[in-house]
């Protein structure tokens, strides 16, 4: 019997060979084998994932062996493109394989959440601390300005829908390029529907050589997920249960010197802290209600956020039953996540149920398999942005509370002093009203899976046909309550929130069919060749219907009928198809030189009919030096491999990009719009975008060089990769001069280069019988550059807010952040307005920096002592700028620490002058400025509307170091679990994102937070985003 | 080879948008209304706010922020870029579509309507920016970087286009009869001709100081040909709007429904002091009381950083913008005031000048359902200075024109102030006892050291996209016709 040394279980399918002969055998389902071997022969036991073992037969008739799992993953099998398992040793490109243990260590809800900082070359973030928030995964940098840089997720060989279910007001879901600042809500992305406990393994394919078999869908990398399936043998039951609690991690730091007021004077109606110095003296505050006024001491309450936020919780339970026989296997699982975030009430909650059913059966050479997953998701999420006329948004209102107001005193938002009529300020809404009265309900149902038929014609040829599908139907209802102060009340001057209801229905369907023929031939003892040819058909459809109405007539009733206004509706459909032919050949020579060449040709429906065919080749070479030159191998150098690869991938266009269209009549006003029909007259107008009948696909060419080195009996491992990837012919609606009659045209343009280095260092500093210390260090550095833009175009604005732009400029990294600067003279002196001392704004904006990291690094440590394991990981991302509206608003209301500049006494802008203007209006010279910014204008100095150049300080360094997880787990000894009739059991304590360190200038927001999207547009920063959270919990895993 | 077969290409033939019609399906009758709404939505909203502040009807509230940059003349090359884009892509390009399509089919009704609206809209842009894309504009992919033409060339071109459109056969069977789908005149071709001629008159008068000979000859020809001028409003009128989201008067929609503060536009002392000095009842139409106030009060122009108490600041009267107010392209009153000035220039002292002026004042009051007869009667506050000099008459005409435009039509008053110098500019600030009501003052927080704003700065967004954008010109540099 062949067993696994670590758990004692039988290993089926182990190949056994009599060394130096062709006599062979295989173990059965229960690990048994028999072989007719001559005496004194040597048996070689080989199985993927285990160290090959040689045993001399001698005279024994029964040889039981226990095989060692290959801890250093030499001979490790990774799943590559199209679900093909290959020995990692044979690959000529870098891949990162993630084990199920790594994925579920800290019981994350989303599979990507456990991986932050652990994969070199992958930037993984969560959009916010809210339950179910979207994950952002960017592999090897932003390459596409079109805004789609998320990798392709492939589950069991079938691509799945990873659309982000975000909602921007009036805009249907899926806005990967959302730039809305009004009301945005994030309900998570499609890949987060997968239960991490169902995953057997994950491979992250970063480079084009690894992904080019996916052709026009793989430009941003591919994440290959293999789910668990049943294994022959005893029926197993696995149970996981975890309970997690969360609290607020990062909130703005407030000044504690000055209290409510404006322009230096106390004003109990103000929404800011521009009042006098806090003196602790009792003052009346708020409005007079029924002749009465409240009073309170004029002191800082900087505990605001801890008082406001509550403890969140998350319960994650799953059970899986699996098993089978030699011929049939099954796997059945159910998982439930139920969580409520840190915002009071359940306005930030997330519920997910996942059902998975997989089975396979074998009949002679035919293997049939099927996988079915059903996911329901229900969520409520707090909207971000600055709100609209229908209702306010939470974070915007929370910030506009003077520092001396104790948040607990306004909690009862129905209290006469805190209600809509009498709330202390007419400039903001009671945040408790916002969360209790405005809300949303998101729900989605999703069914995805595949069926496969696999037939082995002969040892060297087999065919496989897989049909996969992914259907998601989601619904969103979003509402805001009427908040209209009554005439004659203190807040009567406030503009009422008219209330509104929005219904959104979003249906997506993806169908995928792959037919593949696999060939495998050993030519002679040195050469082997295997390969495949395949045919792929893919179709993606979407149907989105959005209806909203504003101006509600009945309070507290949320339905489209509840308004005097007609609802505004829109519908959009899209359908795209892709056909691909592909082939791959793997050649190996003497088990140390491996060459793979592959090619794919795609035909896409979104490209012009006669030019919709595109070719994506790739090749990679792996050379195992230590196998070629055995003499090099020794106690110092255990393993050395060199890799080289080159590949091409692409990105086709969005549907309907090649023609010119009419759009429903509408006129943009600056704020708001006029929408037809207008009083019985309808209209269509010429779209402001010009289509392009000559589009080509976006192409990425990448080459990669790398090495995999192991030293000291595999105790030290170095995996180093250098890549150079150039993406050209990007497809984008490029802005054009409005003088042409249009504002954008769809075109192929530009060239963007991403060059980088990735290093993964695996160390086992201590390896003893009881105690082991493993560590992994990763480092990535990326240089990104825009090489070309189309003729005449100096820059392309990618996102913008309050005068700050994120742009693509030739010769610069993608995502330069630019904004206003103070006007200066030739000597660099700041020109100020002599009437108020405020800097005058320069006509042209200047570059502040860019969004890109200088480098990222991660450190993972794992200590094991017998059954105990302690692990922790750190994620360090250095450099890059982001726009922060939270910073802007804190400055505006005088709550930020920097607003106490010069103790709020009048000051002269340093090195400032006034222009001397001649009679002809021209500047004739400069005189020293003597106008100090007085108390009335200090607020304006920090108000970006008045002092445009203040936007520089509202663009902040987004560097951070986070402690991503800290886990302590204990594996119960066999003796104990055996008594419970269990096979294994473990308990873990864990913490996620326990600590964060940021540069001093960022006293506002967790730099990972973004409100724009989980793609390039989101790198711009945040607009009224929420806080991040730290979590801690306990989990129990039991297997029977 | 298999995949290049028809079957495969048919399988891939799904790239037709079910939600938007292709451009070839567009007709003038369906495209024209959206274009008119874009003109009304820009000239009548963002530019009306700019014009209304720069014409000193309104000033930025001291309890809000939104329009500080306009009131302080603190605009940059990135200010109002969106509006520039909306005019060109949302209005002008659609007019061009209407013009081309109707010319091809001999639909002279839409050829004229499209040409008039294009000329009206482009003339505003030329007046705001001095140089704008025109001769090479609206060509889509054929010219993505159109040059900017000088304002006078734009004028000459537009007048020629108007003449060409007016010369067509409006009785031909190929003409459309759109009825109410013509949201300006309900399908009346005669009104479109009058609009065309009144617009020509306005453009000739606008260039009167820069090109007097050419302008006078043009005006003379209009009178020789005895063309009709507007006697009704050329407007996107009350009937086109509803008091509903996305459906109302654009200034109201922008300033009241969509901004989070509806009180940014407060009464400027400049206009309010004039209304008060003349006891003009229009005060109650153009302003409404501030919070808790029962009398009209105003803020000196640009004094938004004063340290008055919040209660005083909140009590200042607010611009009275309403959801059903029309957006005047050329109002009846304006038509009469243009005629009055033209007559005084052609035939000084002609009695028809006074008649036109009187009709203008009455029409201006009638905009608010008020009767202005007593104001123009002998001894009335606004009696026409029959015996006065030409300049006194011009001052009366332009001042009354200014008084008629507080609202969606405010931009026009700003242009006329720059052209004629009326109302006059005060030598003291409006809080000074020596201040004469109604005279313009330099805004308190202005950043241009006493120089008034004379134009907009070329869009830096366009500069990024079009190398033919002229070199930067400051906000205080006069445009081509501003030479008085």
Beta strands in A715-814 (DSSP E): 716-735, 744-767, 771-788, 795-801, 804-809
Give the position of tokens 């873990």. A988
Chain A contact set for B472 (CB, 8 A) = 843
Give residue A168's pLDDT: 55
**Chain B positions in Cβ-Cβ contact with residue A939 (cut-off 8 Å):** none
Interchain pair B90, A688: CB under 8 A: yes
Q: Give the model's confidence band at A169: pLDDT under 50 very low, under 70 low, under 90 confident, else very high.
A: very low
Are B260 and A683 within 8 A, CB to CB?
no
Mean pLDDT within A698-704: 91
Per-residue pLDDT of A624-654, as tens digits, reads 999 888 888 888 898 999 999 999 998 888 8
Confidence of residue A175 (pLDDT cuts 50, 70, 90): very low
Q: How many CA atoms lie within 13 A of A1014 on its CB side?
A: 30
Find the CB nearest A662 among B23, B141, B183: B23
CA-nearest residue to B256 within chain A is A495
* Cβ pair A551:B21 closer than 8 A: no
Q: Which of B97, B247, B444 minimises the CB distance to A678?
A: B247
- Report how far residue A204's alpha carbon sits from residue A111's, in angstroms, rounded to the nearest whole number: 13
pLDDT of residue A70: 59
**pLDDT at residue A25 greater than cutoff 70:** yes
Q: Which residues contact A728 (CB under 8 A, 6 or more apart)?
A: A698, A699, A700, A701, A748, A750, A751, A752, A788
Closest by Cβ to B21, choosing from A263, A564, A661: A661
Q: Which of A573, A690, A820 sits opposite B19 (nearest CB)?
A: A573
Mean pLDDT is lowest, of A312-326, A364-378, A802-816, B2-16, for B2-16
What is the DSSP secondary structure assignment for residue B253, as one 8-state letter?
Answer: I
By C-alpha distance, the chain A residue nearest B443 is A835
CB-CB under 8 Å, B88 with A739: yes
- Whether A676 sits inside 8 A of B33 (CB atoms) is yes
Residues of B in contact with A736 (CB under 8 A): 144, 465
Of B150, B154, B159, B161, whose CA–CA distance to B200 is shortest?
Answer: B159
Separation in Å, CA of B136 to nearest CA in chain A: 8
pLDDT at A604: 93
Instruction: Search chain B and give the residue with CA nearest A571.
Output: B19
Residue B417 to residues A235, B301, B398, B402: CA-CA distances in angstroms? Answer: 90, 16, 8, 8
Q: Tell whether A147 lies on the interface with B, counting CB pairs under 8 A.
A: no
Round to whole Å and give the CA distance between A650 and A702.
11
Residue in the block written with tokens 């060297």: A460
Over residues A841-858, the mean pLDDT reads 92
Nearest by CB to B34, which of A386, A666, A690? Answer: A666
Q: Which tokens belong to A544? A: 């989105």
- C-alpha–C-alpha distance, residues A140 and A150, integer Å: 11
Distance from CA of B356 to the nearest CA of A (A): 34
Tell me, yes or no, if A812 comes closer than 8 A to chain B by beta carbon: no
Cβ-defined contact of A661 to B257 (cutoff 8 Å): no
pLDDT at A14 over 90: no
d(C-alpha A883, C-alpha A886), whole Å: 9
The first and second tokens of residue A720, run together, are: 């180093």
Give the Å distances, CA to CA, from A727 to A107, A388, A704, A852, B42: 37, 39, 15, 17, 39
CB spacing of A943 vs B466 below 8 angstroms: no
At A176 the pLDDT is 37
Q: Do B37 and A741 touch (CB under 8 A)?
A: no
State the pLDDT at residue A516.
Answer: 94
DSSP per-residue string spanning A445-500: EEEEEEEEEEEEEETTEEEEEEEEEEEEEEEEEEEE--B-PPTTSTTTTSPPB--E
User: Exposed (0-12), middle (13-18) or buried (19+): which is A310, by Cβ within 10 Å?
Assistant: middle
Interface of A with B in 379-408 (CB under 8 A): 386-387, 389
CATH number of A103-247+312-393+438-657+692-815+851-880+959-1039: 2.40.170.20
Write the DSSP string, A870-925: EEEEEEEEE--EEEEHHHHHHHHTT-BGGGGGGGG--BPPTTEEEEEE-TTS-EEE
Q: Which residue ranges of chain B lie beneath pLDDT 70?
A: 1-5
Cα(A874)–Cα(A858) distance, integer angstroms: 5
Which has the higher per-residue pLDDT, A94 or A501?
A501
Each residue of A232-244: pLDDT tens digit?
A: 888 999 999 999 9
Q: Which of A109-113, A460-464, A927-931, B123-127 has the lowest mean pLDDT?
A: A109-113
* Encoded tokens for B389: 């000099």
CB distance B461–A948 less than 8 Å? no
Determine the Cα–Cα distance for residues B105 and A291; give it in Å rounded to an integer: 74
**Residue of B34, B84, B135 to mutate, testing the A interface (most A Cβ within 10 Å of its Cβ):** B34
Residue B69 to residue A581, Cβ atoms within 8 A: no
Question: Is residue A577 less than 8 Å (CB to CB) from chain B?
Answer: yes
CATH fold label, A2-70: Immunoglobulin-like (2.60.40)
Q: Are strands A15-18 and A42-46 parallel, antiparallel or unpaired?
A: antiparallel
Question: What single string gives the DSSP state of each residue in A656-702?
Answer: T-SS-BEEE-EEE-SSSEEES-BTTB--EEE-SEE--TT---EEEEE
Residue A172 binned pLDDT confidence (cut-offs 50, 70, 90): very low
Q: Which of A565, A690, A835 sits opposite B140 (nearest CB)?
A: A690
Contact residues, A window 87-116, toward B, CB-based 8 Å cutoff: none
* Interface predicted TM-score (ipTM) of this complex, two decimals: 0.94
Whole-number pLDDT of residue B246: 92
Range list of β-strands (E), B139-247: 148-150, 234-236
Is residue A344 over pLDDT 70? Answer: yes
**pLDDT tens digits, A944-975:** 888 989 999 999 999 999 999 999 999 998 88
Q: Would you give the end-to-end CA distance of chain B in angstroms? A: 75
HSE (side-chain half, CA atoms, 13 Å) at B470: 14
> Whole-angstrom Cα distance, residue A347 to residue A310?
12
Closest residue, chain B, to A426 (C-alpha): B261
The confidence score (pLDDT) of residue A892 equals 95
Q: Which structure tokens are listed for A679?
A: 């009083």
Q: Identify all chain B residues contacting A575, using CB atoms and an 8 Å cutoff.
A: 14
For residue B10 the two structure tokens come to 């048919």
The DSSP line for B62-114 is TT--TTHHHHTT---TTTTHHHHHIIIIIIIHHHHHHHHHHHHHT-HHHHHHH
Structure tokens at B48: 């009306």
Residue A535, token pair as written in the block: 């045919």
Give helix then strand counts, H and E, for chain A. Answer: 9, 56
Which pair of tokens denotes residue B403? Answer: 């008084």
DSSP state of B147: P
Tell me which residue in A604, A606, A683 faces B31 most closely, judged by beta carbons.
A683
Contact indicator for A309, A248 with CB cutoff of 8 Å: yes
Q: What is the pLDDT of residue B5?
A: 64
- In chain B, which residues have their Cβ closer than 8 Å to the Cβ of A921? 451, 474, 476-477
| Contact (CB<8Å) A943/B65 | yes
**Residues B291-344: tens digit of each pLDDT:** 889 999 999 999 998 878 878 888 999 999 999 999 999 999 999 999 999 999
Q: What is the pLDDT of residues A777-829, one digit of tens each?
A: 999 999 999 988 876 677 888 888 888 999 999 999 999 999 999 999 999 99
C-alpha to C-alpha distances, A247 to A244, A302, B229, nearest whole angstrom: 10, 17, 72
Query: Which tokens sit at B204?
Result: 């000739």
Band the pLDDT of A177: cuts 50, 70, 90: very low
Which residue of A492, A740, A921 is in closest CB contact with B451?
Answer: A921
Q: From the candidates B88, B98, B243, B465, which should be mutated to test the interface with A, based on the most A CB atoms within 10 A? A: B465
Cis peptide before B423 (omega within 30 of 0): yes
| Paired tokens of A710 | 């192991």
**In whole angstroms, what is the distance from residue A308 CA to residue A383 CA?**
17
- A323 φψ region: left (φ > 0), alpha (ψ -120 to 50), beta (else): left
| pLDDT above 70 for A577 | yes
**CB contacts, 8 Å: B476 with chain A:** 921
Residues B103-106: contacts with CB under 8 Å, at least 24 apart:
B105/B174, B106/B172, B106/B174, B106/B175
The answer on pLDDT for A71 being more than 70 is: no
Is the per-residue pLDDT at A171 higher than 50?
A: no
Residue A756 tokens, joined? 């980088």
Q: In this complex, is the C-beta atom of A343 within 8 Å of any C-beta atom belonging to chain B?
A: no
The residue of B2, B13, B15 whose CB has the most chain A CBs within 10 angstroms, and thus the best one to mutate to test that interface, is B15
Instruction: Report phi then psi at B284, rounded to 5.
Output: -80, -10
Say if A2-70 and A103-247+312-393+438-657+692-815+851-880+959-1039 have the same CATH topology: no
At residue A748, does pLDDT exceed 90?
no
| Local confidence band at A326 (pLDDT 50, 70, 90 cut-offs) | confident
Q: Are A1018 and A216 in contact (CB under 8 A)?
A: no
Cβ-based contacts of A389 with chain B (< 8 Å): 257-258, 260
Give contacts of B76 with chain A, Cβ < 8 Å: 820, 841-843, 948
Residue A304 has a CB neighbour count (10 Å cut-off) of: 21
Q: What is the mean pLDDT of chain A?
A: 89
Name the residue with tokens 């549907």: A655
Nearest to B244 by CA among A892, A963, A565, A134: A565
Task: Look up residue A86 and give its two tokens.
Answer: 């290959």
Cβ of A738 within 8 Å of Cβ of B32? The answer is: no
What is the average per-residue pLDDT within A576-598? 92
3-state DSSP of A803-827: CEEEEEECCCCCCEEEECCECECCC
Beta-carbon separation of A685 and B263 below 8 A? no
Q: What are the angstrom distances between the C-alpha of B259 and each of A14, A804, A1033, B65, B323?
A: 72, 20, 45, 11, 14
**Per-residue pLDDT, A936:** 79
In this prediction, residue A142 carries a pLDDT of 84
A187 touches chain B (CB under 8 A): no
Residue of A nearest to B179 (CA): A681
pLDDT tier for residue A44 given thresholds of 50, 70 and 90: confident
Residues 780-799 of A with CB under 8 A from B: 792-795, 797
Region A435-456: what's the mean pLDDT?
94
Cβ–Cβ < 8 Å for A324, A334: no
Alpha-carbon distance values, B387 to A51, A640, B384, B390, B393 (Å)? 114, 105, 9, 9, 9
> Is B145's CB within 8 Å of A737's CB?
yes
Tell me the C-alpha distance between B127 and A828, whole Å. 35
Domain boundaries, chain A: 2-70, 103-247+312-393+438-657+692-815+851-880+959-1039
Residue bearing the bigger pLDDT, B400 or A67: B400
Computed over its alpha carbons, how large is the radius of gyration of chain A? 31
Residue A231 contacts by C-beta under 8 Å, 6 or more apart in sequence?
A12, A322, A323, A324, A329
Write b or e for each residue in A893-903: b if 16 or more Cβ atoms lie within 10 A of its Cβ, otherwise e.
bbbbbebbeee
């Amino acid at each position: 019997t062949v067993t696994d040394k670590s758990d004692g279980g039988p290993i089926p399918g182990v190949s056994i060979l009599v060394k130096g002969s062709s006599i062979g055998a295989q173990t059965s389902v229960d690990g048994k084998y028999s072989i007719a071997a001559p005496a004194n022969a040597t048996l070689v036991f080989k199985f993927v994932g285990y160290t090959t073992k040689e045993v001399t037969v001698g005279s024994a008739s029964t040889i039981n062996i226990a095989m060692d799992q290959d801890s250093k993953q030499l001979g490790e099998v990774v799943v590559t493109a199209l679900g093909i398992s290959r020995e990692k040793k044979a690959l000529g490109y870098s891949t990162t394989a993630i084990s199920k243990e790594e994925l579920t260590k800290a019981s994350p809800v989303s599979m990507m959440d456990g991986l932050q900082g652990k994969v070199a070359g992958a930037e993984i973030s969560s959009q916010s601390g809210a339950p179910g928030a979207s994950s952002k995964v960017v592999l090897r940098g932003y390459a596409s300005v079109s805004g789609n840089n998320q990798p392709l997720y492939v589950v069991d060989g079938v691509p799945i829908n990873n659309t982000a279910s975000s909602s921007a007001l009036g805009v249907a879901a899926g806005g990967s390029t959302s730039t809305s600042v009004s009301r945005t809500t994030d309900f998570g992305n499609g890949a987060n529907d997968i239960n991490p406990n169902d995953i057997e393994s994950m491979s992250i394919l970063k480079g084009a050589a690894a992904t080019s078999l996916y052709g026009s869908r793989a430009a941003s990398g591919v994440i290959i997920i293999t789910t668990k399936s049943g294994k022959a043998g005893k029926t197993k039951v696995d149970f996981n249960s975890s309970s997690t609690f969360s609290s607020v991690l990062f909130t703005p730091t407030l000044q504690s010197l000055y209290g409510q007021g404006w322009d230096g004077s106390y004003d109990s109606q103000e929404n800011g802290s521009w009042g006098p110095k806090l003196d602790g003296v009792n003052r009346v505050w708020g409005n007079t209600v029924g002749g009465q006024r409240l009073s309170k001491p004029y002191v800082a309450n900087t505990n605001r956020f801890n008082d406001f936020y509550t403890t969140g919780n998350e319960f994650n339970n799953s059970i899986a039953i699996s098993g089978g026989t030699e011929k049939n296997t099954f796997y059945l699982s159910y998982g439930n996540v139920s969580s409520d975030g840190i915002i009071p009430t359940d306005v930030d909650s997330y519920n997910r149920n996942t059902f998975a059913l997989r089975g396979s059966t074998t009949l002679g050479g035919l293997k049939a398999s099927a996988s079915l997953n059903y996911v329901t998701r229900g969520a409520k999420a707090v909207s971000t942005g600055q709100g609209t006329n229908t209702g306010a948004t939470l974070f915007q209102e929370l910030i506009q509370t003077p520092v001396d107001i104790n948040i607990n005193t306004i909690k009862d938002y129905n209290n006469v002093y805190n209600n809509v009529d009498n709330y202390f300020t007419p400039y903001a809404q009671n945040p408790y009203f916002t969360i209790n009265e405005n809300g949303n309900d998101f729900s989605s149902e999703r069914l995805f899976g595949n069926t496969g038929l696999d037939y082995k014609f002969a040892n060297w040829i087999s065919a496989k046909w897989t049909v996969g599908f992914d259907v998601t139907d989601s619904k969103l209802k979003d509402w805001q309550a009427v908040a209209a102060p009554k005439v004659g009340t203190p807040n009567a001057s406030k503009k009422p929130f008219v209330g509104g209801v929005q219904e959104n229905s979003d249906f997506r369907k993806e169908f995928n069919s792959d037919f593949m023929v696999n060939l495998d031939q050993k030519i002679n003892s040195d050469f082997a060749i295997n390969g495949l040819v395949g045919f792929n058909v893919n179709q993606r459809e979407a149907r989105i219907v959005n209806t909203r109405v504003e101006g509600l007539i009945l309070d507290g009733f949320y339905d489209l009928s509840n308004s005097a206004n007609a609802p505004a509706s829109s519908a959009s459909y899209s359908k795209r198809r892709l056909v691909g032919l592909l082939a791959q050949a793997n050649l190996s020579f003497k088990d140390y030189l491996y060459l793979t060449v592959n090619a794919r040709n795609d035909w896409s429906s979104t490209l012009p009919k006669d030019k919709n065919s595109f070719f994506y080749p790739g090749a990679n070479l792996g050379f195992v030096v230590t196998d070629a030159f055995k003499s090099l191998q020794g106690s110092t150098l255990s393993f050395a491999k060199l890799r080289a690869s080159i590949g091409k991938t692409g990105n086709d266009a969005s549907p309907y990009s090649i023609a010119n269209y009419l759009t429903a009549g509408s006129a943009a006003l600056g704020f708001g719009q006029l929408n037809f029909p207008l009083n019985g007259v309808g209209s269509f107008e010429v779209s402001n975008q010009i289509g392009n009948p000559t589009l080509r696909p976006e192409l990425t060419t990448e080459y990669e060089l790398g090495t995999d080195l192991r030293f000291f009996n595999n105790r030290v491992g170095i995996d180093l990769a250098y890549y150079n990837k150039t993406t050209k012919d990007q497809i984008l609606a490029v802005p054009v001069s409005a003088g042409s009659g249009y504002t954008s045209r769809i075109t192929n343009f530009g060239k963007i280069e991403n060059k980088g280095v990735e290093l993964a260092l695996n160390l086992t500093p201590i390896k003893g019988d009881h105690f082991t210390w493993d560590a992994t260090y990763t480092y990535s550095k990326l240089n990104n550059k825009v090489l070309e833009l189309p003729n005449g175009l100096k820059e392309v604005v990618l996102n913008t807010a309050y005068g700050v732009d994120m742009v693509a400029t030739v010769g610069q990294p993608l995502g330069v952040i630019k904004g206003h600067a103070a006007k200066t003279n030739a000597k660099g002196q700041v020109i100020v307005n002599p009437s108020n001392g405020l800097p005058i704004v320069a006509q042209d904006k200047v570059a502040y920096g860019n969004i890109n990291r200088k480098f990222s690094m991660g450190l993972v440590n794992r200590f094991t002592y017998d059954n105990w394991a302690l692990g922790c990981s750190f994620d360090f991302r250095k450099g890059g700028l982001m726009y922060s509206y939270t910073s802007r608003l804190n400055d505006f209301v005088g709550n930020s620490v920097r607003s106490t500049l010069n103790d709020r006494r009048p000051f002269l802008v340093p090195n400032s002058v006034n222009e001397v203007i001649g009679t002809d209006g021209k500047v004739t010279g400069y005189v020293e400025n003597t106008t100090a910014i007085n108390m009335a204008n200090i607020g304006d100095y920090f108000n970006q509307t008045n002092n445009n150049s203040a936007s520089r300080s509202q663009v902040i360094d987004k560097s951070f170091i986070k402690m991503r997880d800290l886990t302590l787990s204990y594996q119960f000894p066999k003796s104990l679990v055996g008594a419970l009739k269990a096979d294994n059991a473990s308990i873990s304590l864990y913490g996620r994102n326990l600590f964060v360190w940021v540069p001093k200038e960022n006293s506002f927001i967790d730099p990972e937070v973004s409100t724009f999207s989980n793609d390039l547009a989101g790198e711009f920063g945040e607009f009224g985003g929420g806080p991040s959270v730290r979590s801690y919990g306990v989990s129990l895993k039991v297997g029977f | 080879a298999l995949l290049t077969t028809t079957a495969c290409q048919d399988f891939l033939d799904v790239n037709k948008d079910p939600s938007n019609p292709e451009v070839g399906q567009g007709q003038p009758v369906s495209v024209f209304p959206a274009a008119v709404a874009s003109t009304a939505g820009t000239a009548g909203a963002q530019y009306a706010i700019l014009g209304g502040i720069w014409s000193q009807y309104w000033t930025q509230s001291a309890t809000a922020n939104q329009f500080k940059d306009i009131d302080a003349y603190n605009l940059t090359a990135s200010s109002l870029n969106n509006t520039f884009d909306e005019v060109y892509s949302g209005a002008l390009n659609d007019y061009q579509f209407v013009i081309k399509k109707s010319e091809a089919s001999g639909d002279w009704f839409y050829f004229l309507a499209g040409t008039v609206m294009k000329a009206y809209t482009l003339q505003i842009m030329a007046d705001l920016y001095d140089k704008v894309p025109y001769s090479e504009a609206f060509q889509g992919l054929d010219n993505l970087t159109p040059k900017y033409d000088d304002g006078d060339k734009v004028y000459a071109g537009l007048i020629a286009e108007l003449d060409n459109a007016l010369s067509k056969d409006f009785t031909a069977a190929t003409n459309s009869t759109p009825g109410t789908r013509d949201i300006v005149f309900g399908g009346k071709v005669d009104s479109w001709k009058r609009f065309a001629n009144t617009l020509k008159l306005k453009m000739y008068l606008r260039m009167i100081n820069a090109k007097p000979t050419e302008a006078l000859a043009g005006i003379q020809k209009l009178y020789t040909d005895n063309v009709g001028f507007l006697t009704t409003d050329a407007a996107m009128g009350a009937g086109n709007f509803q008091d509903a989201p996305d459906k109302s008067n654009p200034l109201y929609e922008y300033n009241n429904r969509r901004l989070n503060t509806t009180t940014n536009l407060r009464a400027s002392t400049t206009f309010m002091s004039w209304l008060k000095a003349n006891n003009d009842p229009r005060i109650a139409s153009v302003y409404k009381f501030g919070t808790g106030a029962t009398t009209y009060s105003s803020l000196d122009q640009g004094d938004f950083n004063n340290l008055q108490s919040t209660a005083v600041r909140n009590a200042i009267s607010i611009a009275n913008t309403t959801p059903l107010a029309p957006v005047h392209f050329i109002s009846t009153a304006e038509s009469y005031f243009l005629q009055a000035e033209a007559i005084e220039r052609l035939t000084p002292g002609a009695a028809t000048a006074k008649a036109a002026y009187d009709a203008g004042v009455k029409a201006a009051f009638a905009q608010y359902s008020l009767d202005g007869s007593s104001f123009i009667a002998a001894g009335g506050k606004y009696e026409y200075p029959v015996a006065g000099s030409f300049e006194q008459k011009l001052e009366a005409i332009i001042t009354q024109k200014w008084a008629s435009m507080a609202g969606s039509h405010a931009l026009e008053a700003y242009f006329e102030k720059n052209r004629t110098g009326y109302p006059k500019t005060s030598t003291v600030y409006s809080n000074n006892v020596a201040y004469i009501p109604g005279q313009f003052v330099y805004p308190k927080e202005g950043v241009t050291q006493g120089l008034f704003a004379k134009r907009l700065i070329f869009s830096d967004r366009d500069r990024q996209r079009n190398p033919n954008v002229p070199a930067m010109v400051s906000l205080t540099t006069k445009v081509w016709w501003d030479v008085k």
